Chains A and B, each alone.
Chain A
Amino acid sequence: MKSVKLAVSAIAIVAATGTTAFARDNIQVAGSSTVLPYASIVAEAFGENFDYPTPVVESGGSSSGLKRFCEGVGENTIDVANASRKIKDKEIATCAENGVTDIMEVRIGYDGIVFASQKDGPAFDAFDPSDIYNALGAKVMKDGQLVDNTYAKWNEFNAALPDADIIAFIPGTKHGTREVFEEKVLEAGCEATGAMEAYVASGMDEKAAAKECMKVRTDGKAVDIDGDYTETLARIGSNPNGIGVFGLAFYENNTDKLKVATMSGVTPSTETIASGDYPVSRPLFFYVKKAHIGQIPGLKEYAEFFVSDDMAGADGPLAQYGLVSDPELAQTQEAVAAETTMNSGM
């Protein structure tokens, strides 16, 4: 009997702690796994330098982060969503429906997307978007005709490339990186090879043609990776001919295993991306719920600290890790200080 009483009282205690109101004192962040390393570096330094607890940063992808961001206002929803793409109008509408109306958009810098292969593998040193399109596009131009892609080796369409089987590991469709890959590489390559024109000539409008351009061949030469870059790295490690798509920061941490290819003749680096010479890059953002500023202690300080010169500046730890710092950082700092929201004229 005694043990039963004990158990009952234990349940009561747990239940009581469970139902008390939670005055949350830590910032909660979720979203893009590309932004996660940067956010964790900032969160750590924030916890060290301020009297607030270290913010909690979860990953899960831009879309799931924004979805949770838009669930509503209150202590049980996240304060900041990290995203490797801009918030979509549809998401803003969902947010508004749930009462999240004042959203601050903060651009933290740029991220480069690089093509890398095994260090000792074939000499994949230089690509153009057209090479990638010829290798991976669903349909390619051959003798002036748009035909199904049957290329098996890189040197079949570009003699400068090595005589190696085509096999590429590209980010899966749930990744924000995939969108950049499609827009900046496949679509550009599609236009350069003339496939785009052929699509339009066959009676499609531009939008439909662009959509066709982004289709990837489905005969197993282009492999979608739904996991993280570590998975891509493992696949490349076991496949000397493999080409992988990585974030610049990931490549820079694994230069002992990977060699990077230039794109349109430009070597990817923080400098070439900042100057805009390297074509495959994208801005990174985080979104702040303005309604939570003042409610969650330290939220505004966190946002300001994130974009401060100490963190996001050209010599800061984020740049050291691989973020391409934003030349217009000063404007972003002002906007954050003034709590400028998206609908108040940004």
Chain B
Amino acid sequence: MVTQKKLLLIFRNPPFSSSANRDNLDIALACSAFDIPVSLLFLNDAVLQLHKNQQSHLLEQKDLTKTLNALEMYDIDQCYVIDEHLARYQLSKDDLILNCHSLAREKLASFIHDFDVVINL
């Protein structure tokens, strides 16, 4: 059995800004089909992608938060945010649609260091 490489997907964009978050999420779902362990890090503005109560229909777009809720059905539960980034937008973890692990900003470098592959969209 080949040891699976550990994959980290970094989200960096706010909602409705580009297709990057959607693309990154597609990668996550594809990894699930191949049993590749994947972690998701929502950096900076990307914490806003996790904000509850979005109404994407007003912009005539698909609701990415709905699809993010499907992660659990794909057995993807390793989601991370940086406390300082939440604080910048006066958010708490209760404002988020996903259960995320907290990561201290000072731990970011060693966190990234531990992965084998990092995709930063």
The yes or no verdict on A and B being binding partners is no
